[in-house]
Amino acid sequence: MNRLIYVAMSLLFTYSLVLNSVAPLLNYFRSYFELSVASSSLIPVFLLSGTVLSNIFVGFIFNKLGLRRTLLVGLFLLVTGTSSAAFSNSIALLILGMILIGFSNGFGFTGATMLLLTEGTKSSNFGLFHGAYGLGGIAAPLLIELFNQLGTGFKGLYLTYTFLAVSLTLMVGKATANALPIEETSVNNAERKEKLKLTGESRKVFITYLIMLIFYSSAEIGTITWAGTYSKPGVVPTTLGYTVFWFLFTVTRFALPIIEKTFRNIVLLNGTLLIIFLLLFAKTGNITLFFTTGAFFGPLFPYIQSRAIRKISEELRPVFNGLTYSLTSLGGNLTVFLMGTLIEKFGILSYMLPTSLILTLVLSHFLAIK
């Protein structure tokens, strides 16, 4: 396997680690800054807002900016954002850190995905790549628990993330110094505009797969963000519940090639199972039902994305990836906010939202395969 795939996986792992720390940290933020549940919902909203804006921006300027600069700018923003969170003594500074972290995501996710595509569009590559995202999800709640026991709390955690991001910056700088798999384009504006046109079948593929990824991510982000708040006290602690979720999520992503060969229609199967388990979780608040959904959420994003990329022209891939990560973040942003406003008074209704999104995803899938 080319070392650039390992670099891409390291990038996704680090961004995942930082991103997936926010949901289990919400209770700590509420306690430290004395926030209500509704007020604390603004923290992931600002994080995702930065992600939305940066992904749109990066998607359209990637070919001009170049791969190496895209990755390094993202890491600089990540270092700045995590250090702001590490030294935050006010909610304003924490939110600034969240915005910067969110803005770094557009550069990081799009850049890492384009780095992956230098090795082709095989499902196995996408499974490994997105499996690294799951590994970050597994590690995040474990690190939160560790730093909580050490007494340094979220500040020590984000300071550690800052050092990790600095180390990754050095690694990326060295790995891409003499290997720029995606060069800055030299075509003129007229040629570029012509290649970026969406017509006929390409428009249908582009839009349908984009919508499917938006529905998926909105449901996933909303489910994960509020599971810790919504779940009822039981034998399984919240942090352990998140760890098991990400373990199942990651295993199924790494096993994507096997799952593809075993089951004919992954979207229909996993979508149906997700609807059942989300409805049961909404009714009972049992965290074991939540973490079981990790096995069904896991393979869906890389499965859908790999199929979309194969059908989309090379020139449109940066735009598709940029819009994917921006609009999925926007969808997640809206879902998190709506669920946050409902969860205190209408808890069961809040989880009807991700359930409905998964149902719509399944229906969109039938349109895509016609």
pTM for the full predicted model: 0.74
Q: What is the mean pLDDT of each run of 10 residues along the chain (370 residues)?
A: 80 92 86 83 84 81 84 95 94 94 90 77 67 86 89 92 95 77 48 53 81 92 86 76 88 89 90 95 90 94 86 79 80 85 79 93 77
Label each residue of the chain as H, E or C: CCHHHHHHHHHHHHHHHHHCCHHHHHHHHHHHHCCCHHHHCHHHHHHHHHHHHHHHHHHHHHHHHCHHHHHHHHHHHHHHHHHHHHCCCCHHHHHHHHHHHHHHHHHHHHHHHHHHHHHCCCHHHHHHHHHHHHHHHHHHHHHHHHHHHHCCHHHHHHHHHHHHHHHHHHHHHHHCCCCCCCCCCCCCHHHHHHHCCCCHHHHHHHHHHHHHHHHHHHHHHHHHHHHHHHCCCCCCCHHHHHHHHHHHHHHHHHCHHHHHHHCCCHHHHHHHHHHHHHHHHHHHCCHHHHHHCHHHHCCHHHHHHHHHHHHCCHHHHHHHHHHHHHHHHHHHHHHHHHHHHHHCCCHHHHCHHHHHHHHHHHHHHHHHCC
Ranges of each domain in the chain: 3-179+191-368
Q: What is the pLDDT of residue 182?
A: 43
Q: What is the pLDDT of residue 198?
A: 55
Q: What is the pLDDT of residue 184?
A: 47
Q: What is the pLDDT of residue 186?
A: 46
State which fold the 3-179+191-368 domain adopts. Growth Hormone; Chain: A; (1.20.1250)
Q: What is the pLDDT of residue 17?
A: 93
Q: What is the pLDDT of residue 189?
A: 53
